[in-house]
Amino acid sequence: MKLRARTLLVLLAIVSATLAAMSGSVAPPPAADEVSALDLAQWLRARRQGLLLVDVRTAEAFDADRLPGARLLADVDTAALRQAETVVVYADASADAGALHGISNAPSSVPHVLRLYGGIVAWNDEVLFPVLRADASARQQREFATRALLSRYFGGSPRLLDPGAAPTRGRSRRGC
Amino acid sequence: MSAPLIADEALGASLGAAVALGAAFGFALERAGLGSARKLVGQFYGRDLAVMKVMFSALVVAMLGVFWLSRWGLLDLRAVYVPLTYLWPQLFGGLVFGAGLVVAGLCPGTACVAAATGRVDGVFVLLGFLAGMIGVGLVLGSFADFYTSGAHGAWTLPELTGLPYGSVVAAVVVLALAAFAGAEWFERRVR
């Protein structure tokens, strides 16, 4: 390979790796109109003023499982929207843009409408039932203690995963 | 839409993709000259470190690709299989594998490439693999405890170190670039 092409590839790898280190997480960051489950949990715990949670799922799904203080979309009236400063809509995985658009264009449109990133699935996984591996380091255990407190605050239960006893994926792959 | 694009249940499509990807992998190995046992064994005598450079290049490209595709929402990393860790049998297996690689001059992938390109040693190494797999399968029950010892499930470097995923990616890239530079320096000295 020519020296110039090799230098270019090395530079590309260095730039890409530096940006990766700056990005930190491998998960896509929430968009400008989204809020993460952990951030929403902190808002709820801090009793943020003017926060309205709107569930855009079916009434059956809402009855079975919902976020604390959430209201079903059909039950949200204009007065509630007028009082709200921030509206967070959520669905199972992620609320579609249609629900967001509908609330933003309501007659008494609220200034700040957000979608819950990952929906109620993310709320359950990250807030209510966070998982700590049994072989976690002391530092990871200390960091998890904060998540565990938040989980218990909302009535959840942090889980301890024994990775050896409970393989999470059954498929097999081999090769070199 | 995000990858993986083929559902687990779609067996026919999965097998088709496996054949296509396997052929592409074999073509890349052959083009890199890794179908030759002499080239592979050159690694252990310090004459030719192409194996390390090719494999580390593939690892860095795949790792950066997976990181950024996931970061941009084009790949669902949760749906990507992570091989389960069984620490002690895998360490032992690595030693046996390394010894076999030195003796045979080929590993499973390169043995397939060697056999496909008409090299007789590749055919014999593949026959050895088959015999080894059958033999291990017959006596595996006697070593069941050892086979599942040191289980850590799907264990990744970010989980092991507690560092952010991106930092681990950057560290591996730095390690790879240092290894490339060291390999080239070592090759020049040996020649």
Mean pLDDT, 10 residues at a time, chain B of 191 residues: 68 88 91 89 87 90 94 86 91 94 91 93 94 93 90 88 92 95 87 71
Alpha carbon of B47: minimum distance to chain A alpha carbons (Å)? 19
Mean pLDDT of A65-88: 86
Do A14 and B155 make contact, defined as CB atoms within 8 angstroms? no
Beta strands in B29-106 (DSSP E): 85-86
Kindly report the backbone phi and psi dihedral angles of residue B46, in degrees, each rounded to the nearest multiple of 5, phi listed first: 75, 10
Tell me: domain A34-124, CATH 3.40.250.10, correct? yes
| Two tokens, residue B1 | 């839409």
Give me the pLDDT at residue B61, please.
94
| Two tokens, residue A79 | 């007065």
For A91, the 3-state DSSP assignment is coil
Sequence letter at residue B155: W
Report ipTM for this prediction: 0.80
Mean pLDDT of A85-103: 74
Which residue from B155, B179, B71 is spatially nearest to A16, judged by alpha carbons? Answer: B71
Mean pLDDT of A93-122: 72
Report yes or no: B67 and B166 within 8 Å, Cβ to Cβ.
Answer: yes
Do B151 and A163 make contact, defined as CB atoms within 8 angstroms? yes
CA distance B87 to B84: 9
Mean pLDDT of A13-32: 91
| Residue B154 with chain A: CB contacts under 8 Å | 163, 167-169
Q: What angle do CA A29, A31, A32 make, to 5 degrees?
A: 130
CA distance A148 to B14: 39
Q: Which of A21, A166, A172 sits opposite B166 (nearest CB)?
A: A21
Do B73 and A165 make contact, defined as CB atoms within 8 angstroms? no
**pTM to 2 decimals?**
0.78
Do A175 and B82 make contact, defined as CB atoms within 8 angstroms? no
Q: Which of A16, A135, A176 sits opposite B152 (nearest CB)?
A: A135
Beta strands in chain A (DSSP E): 34-35, 51-55, 71-72, 86-90, 112-116, 131-133, 159-161
Do A28 and B68 make contact, defined as CB atoms within 8 angstroms? no
Do A163 and B72 make contact, defined as CB atoms within 8 angstroms? no
- Chains A, B: CB contacts within 8 A come to 98
CB of B38 within 8 Å of a chain A CB? The answer is no
CB of A176 within 8 Å of a chain B CB? The answer is yes
Do B173 and A13 make contact, defined as CB atoms within 8 angstroms? yes
Report whether pLDDT(A164) > 80: no
Kindly report the backbone phi and psi dihedral angles of residue B70, in degrees, each rounded to the nearest multiple of 5, phi listed first: -70, -45
Question: Which of A12, A18, A25, A26 is the best mutation test for B, with the most CBs of B within 10 A?
Answer: A26
Mean pLDDT of A36-62: 92
CA distance A15 to A21: 10
Do A167 and B84 make contact, defined as CB atoms within 8 angstroms? yes
| Residue B152 with chain A: CB contacts under 8 Å | 135, 163-164
Give me the pLDDT at residue B130, please.
94
CB of A1 within 8 Å of a chain B CB? The answer is no
Which residue from B75, B133, B21, B153 is spatially nearest to A170, judged by alpha carbons? Answer: B153
Helix (H) or strand (E) holding B158: helix B157-161
CB of A23 within 8 Å of a chain B CB? The answer is yes
CA distance A87 to A109: 10
| DSSP at A129 | S
CA distance B181 to A7: 12
Hey, where are the domains in chain A?
Answer: 34-124, 130-161
